[in-house]
């Protein structure tokens, strides 16, 4: 399914496969690992093994090339669409709060990969 409506993004989005661990914020022991499909300063699209309700808050750790340690953030599920029945879902997240240091690392990553295309 391809979105045909107007562009709502406020920042450039890059295609990239970055390692992500995620869990529902209130579930400390239910961590899963996946990868992103794309990333921007405001959010990301990642592949998950379950569907999430819109508005669900996820705790996310993402590994980016310009930082040795994973960046920890929170994201709100904007959409979660089944790609392969009961197996793979495309889940879109909007970042809720990103500190300035992490925002700088995200920005550097987006700028670098944007210049490579």
- Please indicate, yes or no, if residue 5 is contained in any of the structural domains: no
When divided into structural domains, the chain yields a total of 1
In whole angstroms, what is the distance from residue 68 CA to residue 58 CA? 22
Task: Return the beta strands (E) in 25-86 as ranges.
Answer: 32-40, 43-48, 57-62, 71-84
The answer to whether residue 4 is domain-embedded is no
Closest Cα partner for 103 from 81, 73, 76?
A: 73
Q: Output the pLDDT for position 98.
A: 86
Q: What is the CATH number of the domain that holds 40?
A: 2.40.10.220
* 57 assigned to some structural domain: yes
Residue 52 — φ and ψ, nearest 5°? Answer: -115, 145
Q: Quick check: is 97 in a domain? A: yes
Where are the alpha helices (H) located in the chain, listed in sequence order? Answer: 100-115
What pLDDT score does 7 carry? Answer: 46
pLDDT at 10: 55
- Is the residue at 106 inside a domain? yes
Q: Give the predicted TM-score (pTM) of the model.
A: 0.85
Range of the domain at 84: 14-115
Do the beta carbons of residue 78 and residue 52 sit within 8 Å?
A: no
In this structure, the number of other CB atoms found within 10 A of the CB of residue 7 comes to 7
Residues listed for the chain: 117
**pLDDT in 10s for each residue of the chain, 117 residues:** 444 545 454 567 899 899 999 999 988 788 999 999 999 999 999 999 999 999 999 999 999 998 999 999 999 999 999 999 999 999 999 999 888 999 999 999 999 998 886
pLDDT value of position 97: 81
């Amino acid at each position: 399914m391809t979105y045909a409506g107007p562009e709502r993004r406020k920042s450039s989005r890059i295609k990239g496969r970055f390692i992500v661990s995620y869990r529902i914020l209130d579930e400390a022991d239910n961590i899963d690992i996946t990868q992103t499909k794309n990333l921007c300063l405001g959010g990301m699209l990642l592949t998950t093994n379950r569907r999430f309700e819109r508005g669900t808050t996820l705790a996310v750790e993402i590994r980016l090339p310009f930082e040795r340690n994973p960046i920890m953030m929170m994201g709100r599920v904007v959409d979660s669409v089944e790609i392969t029945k009961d197996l793979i879902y495309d889940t879109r997240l909007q970042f809720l709060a990103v500190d300035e240091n992490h925002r700088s690392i995200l920005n550097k990553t987006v700028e670098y990969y944007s210049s490579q295309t």
